[in-house]
Amino acid sequence: MNDGPGDATPTRSPRPAVTATAVTTTVGLLAVVAVAGRAGPPGTALLLGPLGSITALLIGRAAGLRADDLGLGRRTWHTGAAWGVGCAAAVAASYAAAAAIPAVRPAFHDARYGIDPGAAVYTALVVVPVGTVLFEEVAFRGVLWGLVRAAYGPGRATAVSSVLFGLWHVLPSLRLNRVNPAVAALVGTGRAGQVTAVAGAVAFTAAAGVVLCELRRRSGSLLAPFGAHWGTNGLGVLVTAGLSR
């Protein structure tokens, strides 16, 4: 994998010890944000998203990464934005097609998003991009990917970032088999079903992480995976809320 703008040679490759320290610190930051986001009061994510992103970027910069290494270089803004908009549009078309099939609609039913239109729009346009997508893209496809890629290449960077991205979804998926009827029908609502649902969510999001890393690599910009990520989550909220009503 060496044909994308994101594969340009970094200014310098951090020493292995520096990379290990920065990666460990970033993982620690992820753990803090994950726990605080679940234990904190409503709206905590909107504060943690920007603060966590800034902290992660400071970790990357302290390790010697440039803006380009983090997916934030100006030369890739145009390309990244084009990829991001295209991915979001493709997700929208996929959701529209799926929602038009009666047999598929139950997959969109989720008790967490059976909310009124105003709340759904706010969640999709504010909570999801600021409280979820921003931090996850900066941490996983920006800092972690950039650190490992600078030291060991894009292949290992994608593997590390994607595995951690999958594990990041353990906590959010603990109630998945209880809030989503389609998942409950497949795995059940008991403890065994919970374990199966969590394992499936981790595997699915790890695979999604590979796709998002590839978007980052090919475009050289975080805007590409950001668009795809927001399209999947944000538009998913709107479709789920609409079908639930």
At 145-163, the pLDDT tens digits run: 999 999 999 999 999 999 9
The per-residue pLDDT for range 42-94, each reduced to its tens digit, is 889 999 999 999 999 999 999 999 999 999 999 999 999 999 999 999 999 99
What pLDDT, in 10s, does the model give residues 118-152? 999 999 999 999 999 999 999 999 999 999 999 99
Host H or E run for residue 149: helix 145-152
179 versus 236: the higher-pLDDT residue is 236
Structure tokens at 20: 């290990």
Q: How confident is the model at residue 6 (pLDDT cuts 50, 70, 90)?
A: low
**What values do phi and psi take at 139, rounded to 5?**
-75, -50
Higher pLDDT, 163 or 192: 163
What was the pLDDT predicted at 181? 80
CA 120 to chain centre: 19
For residue 1, what pLDDT is reported?
A: 52
pLDDT band, very low/low/confident/very high, at 10 (cuts 50, 70, 90): low
Do residues 152 and 172 lie in contact, with contact meaning Cβ atoms separated by under 8 Å?
no
pTM listed for this prediction: 0.91
CA distances from 38 to 27, 45, 174 (A): 17, 9, 12
Q: What is the pLDDT of residue 27?
A: 97
Report residue 166's pLDDT band, with 50, 70 and 90 as the boundaries: very high
